Amino acid sequence: MAVVTQYATGRRKCAVARAWVTGTEGDITVNDKPLEKAFPRLTLRQIIQLPLEMAGLMGKYSISATVYGGGPTGQAGALRHAIARALVAMTPATRGPLKKEGLLTRDSRVKERKKYGQKGARKRFQYSKR
Q: Give the tens place of pLDDT for each residue, 29-70.
A: 999 999 999 999 999 999 999 999 998 888 889 999 999 999
Give me the helices (H) in the chain, please: 35-38, 42-55, 72-90, 95-101
- Residues with Cβ within 8 Å of 2's Cβ and at least 6 positions away in sequence, in order, are none
Q: pTM of the full predicted structure?
A: 0.90
Q: Residue 74 has what pLDDT? A: 95
Task: Look up the CATH architecture of domain 5-101.
Answer: 2-Layer Sandwich (3.30)
